[in-house]
Chain A
Amino acid sequence: MAGRGTSDASEYLRYTGLGLTMVGIILVSTYLGWWLDGLLNWKLPLLTIVFALLGIAGAMLHLFKETGRRR
């Protein structure tokens, strides 16, 4: 059953979880910032903003790493 068709399939499958992983990274880091903000109790939710931005940066880095040249 091995053939060229399945190598196409694996090319797609390799990246199936990528979108959800990126969303997961942003959500987890934002939640972490929000939780830390709860400890600090400041008026400005600074850490939520910072960690959300870091999460977005991290998600982009993850995207680069996963889609880059295979080692």
Chain B
Amino acid sequence: MQMERRDFMKLAAMTAATGLAGSMASRGSTALASTQPPLPDRPDIPGVTWEKAPCRFCGTGCHVQVGVQDDKVVAIAGDRQADVNKGLLCVKGYHVGMILYGQDRLTKPMARRDGELVEIEWDEAIDIAAKRIMQSGDKFGFYISGQSTVPEGYAAQKLMKGGLSNNHIEANARLCMASAVTGFLSTYGVDEPASCYDDLDHCDTLILWGNNPAEMHPILFSRVMDRQARGEKITVIDIGSRHTRTTERADHFLPMQPHGDLAIANCIAQQLIEQDAYDHDFVEKHCNFRADRDPSAKFDAPIDHDTYVAYVKEEGASGLFGQAISFEQYKKLVSYYTPEKTEELSGVPASQLRMLASTFADKSKKIVSLWCMGMNQHTAGTAINNLVHNVHLMSGHWGKPGDGPQSLTGQPAACGTVREVGTLAHALPGGRIVKKEAHREHAEGFWNVPKGRINPKPGYHTVKMFEMLCTPTDQGGDIDTIWVQVTNPGQTLPNTKKLFKAKAKLKDKFLIVSEIYPTATTALADLVLPAAMWVEKNGIYGNSERRTQQWFKMVTPPGEARDDCWQTLAVARRLYELGHPGLKDKDGEYLFRINDDAGNEVPYWEWEHYYDINVDKALFDEYRQFTFLKHKNVAPYDELVKHRGMRWPVIETKDGQFKETRWRFVEGADIYVEKGSGIQFYHSVTKDNKAQMWFRPHQWPAEMPDDTLSLNLVTGRVLEHWHSGTMTMRVPQLRRAMPSAYVEMNPEDARDRGISNGDIVRVTTRRGELKLPAWINGRAKPLRGQVFVPFFDENAPINDLTLDAIDPFSKQPDYKKCAVEVSRLDQPHAYSPEDDK
């Protein structure tokens, strides 16, 4: 205990300033807060200067005011001018400044020599990286992040696809929102939500699909709870397999078994059709029907559910975009999902399913559906994303303020960097893909590289890339080098023993890691590059509601830590000097040439000159040209400087102003919608301005509980920590509040196994086992048969145990479903690999 108290005193300076800011942070609308006097925009602390930045943590995209004194972040305040959070921050956000000041920041490049990491100079480090990349050729992979800034992502993308003709570039967002992307693409023909957070201020019904925003997106949830506290009636319906902090505030809890969501969404459609309560006008004007296969190719009349499932099993799915089917066929297929049948498949009582369907049937309601990892980390992730769009389209609860589906992201630039810049193996910036010749030509044009420079074959997706790294070269492992930036795959990939830790034995494989602190990833790195983070560098993020957010460097990074973007560009320059032909454009100029106002080339690849010019601005304004094709127009850099983020498409008006878009595809809100059409899905897959309503059958998870391993393992985040805890575990307040991982069990499952609260137990899956304390009736209570383990704790690497099964379209792994057993330490081991032989 005393140790904690001492930490607290040591850090009192930062805390006091933060606290002062914090005490004024309420949006001033709850009964409790409104008794306080009105407060100024930011605290007036002598000697402290303030600047805006988006919070470093989640995809909500709150803005903070960063207080700086003597080249150090000394205070954080919620930004009252920010639309997203209106001055409020969550428990992580208030402490975001402290993530810079953990004691073990990496401050010097290191190379592995005889098994040990030894300090080297930057020049040598860049040289090692460049030569290794040169030698690896197409065996090199670049793995970046939904926390990489937009310019970092763009530089990496251009280097790989435009310079090295290598499509093995991926980002950790593959593990996080890839299924949301394939869902949006196959339903609307273009990625990213049409709605925005304003809907939370207008809805009267909030439906949570396997989502726990009270812990994961607290600012957004508080936006709704705050309205409730003021006396507004908002019905919260929570569909999930775990009774959470969110459930405590819900009016209805629908206890769902894993993959029950697929049946539930189909059941809503079945009920809307059966009761003739669907929105005929909306469906007729704006929707087509689609499925993996069109049975009319083989059958004369519409076929029933089981015949269809057998037919698709035999023929295989016809790609992400499937085939058109008739409404009659769709109707026949969903008719299988009666409330009674769905109760059987999902565990949710038929009466509750009827209640849910009647909610959608009620045209007077304003319904927002929220989802995040529950639907995305799912081996039928694309399918469930399609199905939730379906129920909103079918019921006409779409495209009105407070009425529509809203997908949430977990990372601050999963949208801005990964989805929009396209830092994935198959993508090019601005919604383009490498497979399409026209798209490659656009990119080759913007980059001024010769035709044919961009490789038309998609690279490896994340799971495959790491599998190839961990497969011996003589057994076909054709990735031999990966450069990891701004993420910690050693802790966050699924089945990490297979997909990451196996690299330790393979001496010819090479791992380059740009990091801020030692992690499970740097533990296996051959070259470690110390990175600047957050307000130690310029940056741009893009949040879940299409909001692009810019900030400036405010403090000097520690030691020799340098910007990730500089690292990429310095390696690019070294490759150019080494004579790599890809680093020249078609006129023989350097691919990443940046000129100053006088037209002279700036040698920004030398660190001392990096900030002679704003490299972020140069890269971002170049990237901006890519964004118009799919109507994802981002604002110019200088415009972003003036705002707390702007939601694209950002439209330049006649008088030179820039105007953001709140609702896409909706007349009056989105300028690209033709007059008189009301709603127009102008990137429709079927080129007729219509969205696709998909039939997607229920299917079981990839690994189900059985006699040996009789429970299901769910992993996820907790309120206090963000992802692998690299940052938040170094904030004493957050670490004290949530110091270590645990296994959360249903009390009856615990009792059956003789487990009491606090017992250290053994958690076993087919991939391995882990000892954890059991937490029963704590913060959340899983349904019977479910257990939950958070993944933030590097000392309890739960991803050693998770399954690496992926969605067939999005290639996103499922971290929420695998067979597990929990047993007392004095009991025999539940499973050994021999059992399967």
User: Are A and B associated in one complex?
Assistant: no
